[in-house]
Structure 1
Amino acid sequence: MTPYIEMNNVSFYYDKTEALQDVSLTINEGDFLAIIGPNGSGKSTLMKIILGLLRPMKGEVHLFGKPVQDFKDRACIGYVSQKSNSFNSGFPATVFEVVRSGLAKKSGLFHRYPKNVADQVKEALISVGMQAYTDRPISALSGGQQQRVFIARALISKPKILLLDEPTVGIDQQNMQSFYRMLTHLNTHHGITIILITHDVDAVSKSISHVACLNRTIHFHGYQKDMAMLSDEQLEKWYGHPVRRVTHGGGHTHD
């Protein structure tokens, strides 16, 4: 089986500041990977390299078996950025319009949408449990509801991989587990490989299959259940400061 994403000895610098050092990481079809680490650990830089927005100074990146610079089918990768940094909550658009705009990378900004666009929007909204909100203004939704809509926007192009950069920003604790259950459903029932970036160890819930601990380099990459066996002292050594860990139960695995 060809890995979906393969990174070999990847390093990246901002000026003379090292953001990533010799990162090697393999992500396979069906994985639900949480990349965790403290602020400034290189998580967002890693994601930008996967997206092809940054080119590593050293090492190689392959997407679906092709060098990242030669990979053209960007619709295979859906991306949801940090909502708080990327969205004006007063933006005058409906849920339908926001989700439909996710087809732009397939149809182009100045091309017509396909005739079945309404069906595609409906299907994407059903997959995230937001079909009842089609005609609502996006600004009228809660933070968690908005994130679900943004995920539907990423899903409308039928990606094989979904990248989420700290998606629980703006979601209260009460709705956190519901949000993770929705991601688990996308992973297990829709076959979407998910990469979730977070700085919070708490986010490594029972939804996750794999965990990568990143602090400039990869300190751990394996099953969630194996991560749970690590000592707090080991985590603190990697993080560079004390961490608080909440146990959510065992994760699921993929053979």
Structure 2
Amino acid sequence: MTEPLIELEDVSYRYGDTAALEHIFLTVEKGEFWAVIGPNGSGKSTLIKLILGLIKPLSGQIRLFGRDASDFREKEKIGYVSQKSNAFNRAFPATVREVVRSGLVKKTGLFRRYPADADEKVDNALAAVGMEEFADRSIGDLSGGQQQRVFIARALISNPELLVLDEPTVGIDRKHMQSFYNMLGRLNREKGIAIVLVTHDVDTVSELVTHVACVNRSIHFHGPHEEYSRQESRIRSEWYGHAVRRVHHGSQAADA
């Protein structure tokens, strides 16, 4: 039996006197696709920072691939994509190929040469996200959605087993959002990459994700998506602390 990719056991974190997360238990297994949802300020991004080792928990234990997070050194196993398209400097002088190739740095080290097959790895990563024809374009010439696909290719170049995305569709228009999520679904199904996705669009990704975690300082729900979808709207509103509005795409929005 393989070790879980992520295990959080009774994890808490505070910013000064303010509790950000309290008593978090969460396990992510190989090949799962998790949607992490919750209201603004609920601790979702803090949860991601804890998983990535950017901050240390006040209490509790975090294990990555069966090892204590403080001892985890195989960073290439985890790809990370943030809200980059919302703040990316379009004047940055780099091609798509150069941006994706820079993802090898965490495996080779900052001052080491790229491997001989670096260009092949770049081509494979771009093909995985449908961006191979843009390899020699300037990154600043692309749309927000195209840039995010490039950043995912950058995360994929080291062949990670886990992909962590913190609201990656910020800056992507609604028209292209579903195709972006469909691409994530293909990566999960066809390449077996486990995905942890922070999103406000749980209904948009409902047919893609396997599990849902609802975070609002503590975890109010975590489990299979089918079980989450059966929860009454009143219960979901209690988790969020306010009424939850569900959007049915292709029709008018309706209150949950």
TM tier, smaller: over 0.9
Supply the distance in 1 between the matched residues of 2:182 and 2:204 (Cα, whole angstroms). 12
User: RMSD of the TM alignment (CA)?
Assistant: 1.2
Structure 1 SS opposite 2:147: helix
Q: Secondary structure at the match of 2:151?
A: helix
Q: In the alignment, what sits opposite 2:227? A: 226
Q: What secondary structure does 2:76 align onto?
A: helix
Please list the CA deviations of residues 101-131 of structure 1 after superposition, one character each: whole Å capped at 9, or x if unmatched: 0001011111111111110000000000000
- Kindly state the Cα deviation for residue 76 of structure 1 after the two structures are TM-superposed: 0.4
TM-score by length of 1: 0.94
Structure 2 residue runs without a partner (length 5+): 250-256
Q: Which segments of structure 1 move beyond 4 Å, counting only runs of 4 or more?
A: none
Unaligned runs of 5+ in 1: 249-255
Is this contact kept in 2: 1:201–1:244, CA < 8 A? no
Greater Cα shift, 13-22 or 224-233: 224-233
Count of aligned positions: 248
1:54-203 equivalences under 5 Å are 54-84=55-85, 87-203=88-204
The Cα offsets for residues 52-86 of structure 1, whole Å up to 9 and x where unpaired, read as 11110110001111110011101100000111455
Aligned partner letter, 2:79: G
Tell me the TM-score normalised to structure 2 length: 0.94
SS of the residue aligned with 2:197?
strand
1:50 aligns with 2:29: no
Given that 2:178 and 2:204 are in contact with CA atoms closer than 8 Å, whether structure 1 keeps it comes out as no
Q: Distance in 2 between matches of 1:173 and 1:104?
A: 33
8 Å contact kept, 1:37–1:200: no
Q: Which amino acid aligns with 2:76?
A: A
Deviation at 1:233, TM superposition (A): 1.2
Task: Name whichever of 60-69 and 234-243 sits farther off.
Answer: 234-243
CA contact (8 A) 1:202 1:244 kept: no
Moved more, 151-160 or 86-95: 86-95
Matches within 5 A, 1:205-224: 205-224=206-225
State whether residues 29 and 193 of structure 1, in contact with CA within 8 Å, keep that contact through their aligned partners in structure 2. Answer: yes
